[in-house]
Amino acid sequence: MAIIPELQDSGFKVAKAGRLRLVPCALQLNKGFTLLELIVVLFIVVIGFTAIGINLSSGNDATELKVAARDIVSALRFARGEALISHQETTVTLDLAENTYQVSARDKVYSIPKAIDVTVVTAQSELIEGSASIRFFADGSSTGGRITLELGKAAWQIDINWLTGQIELDDTEASE
């Protein structure tokens, strides 16, 4: 065996490497989750999501009221847009006896849940037995008014500006 000359007098001991040999060792298998454990966990997760889903989709009164208010606001904005585009008057007529409303440009009658109380304040000329209308003119203005939807203690108020035809939706319970 040749010794590197620099290491000869350095005080380091040089040894010859022995043969490498393989030593048998016991393999330890990692214990994972069993199929039964995974099924139990998935079952618990599904039950949790079901409980959350039922609570969210049960639909309390306030949600039903808000949806009805937004639908009416959407119909009013559609009617205003139709009046501006077609250069013709367009109305949204609310039948207070039947809790329905209709846009003059459409044939469909939209219903409001019977539990919701509807109150309309509008121009005297737009009041006809059991129904009230909000009229939008070709320049974007309107007869103006206020539509109030109430269900229990919750209430939503829709204000229609007579000059600009702008429509605003407010939660009246939150503002009190």
Please write the tens of the pLDDT for every residue from 95-113: 999 999 999 978 999 999 9
Q: Where are the beta strands (DSSP E) in 26-105?
A: 90-95, 100-103
Taking phi over 0 as left and psi of -120 to 50 as alpha, with beta for the rest, 148 belongs to beta
**What mean pLDDT comes out for the span 59-76?**
88
**What mean pLDDT comes out for the span 139-159?**
93
* Length of the chain counted residue by residue: 176
Q: Which fold has domain 61-175?
A: minor pseudopilin epsh fold (3.55.40)
pLDDT at position 32 is: 75
Please, are residues 169 and 73 in contact by the beta-carbon 8 Å criterion?
A: yes
Checking if the pLDDT of 57 tops 80, the result is: no
**What mean pLDDT comes out for the span 121-135?**
93
pTM of the complete model beyond 0.75? no
- The two tokens of residue 42 are 């998935």
Checking if the pLDDT of 144 tops 90, the result is: yes
42-56, 65-79, 133-147: least confidently modelled range: 42-56
Domain segments of the chain as ranges: 61-175
- The two tokens of residue 113 are 């849940």
**What mean pLDDT comes out for the span 125-152?**
93
CB within 8 A of 87, min separation 6: which ones?
Answer: 138
Give the Cα separation of 162 and 70 in Å (integer): 20
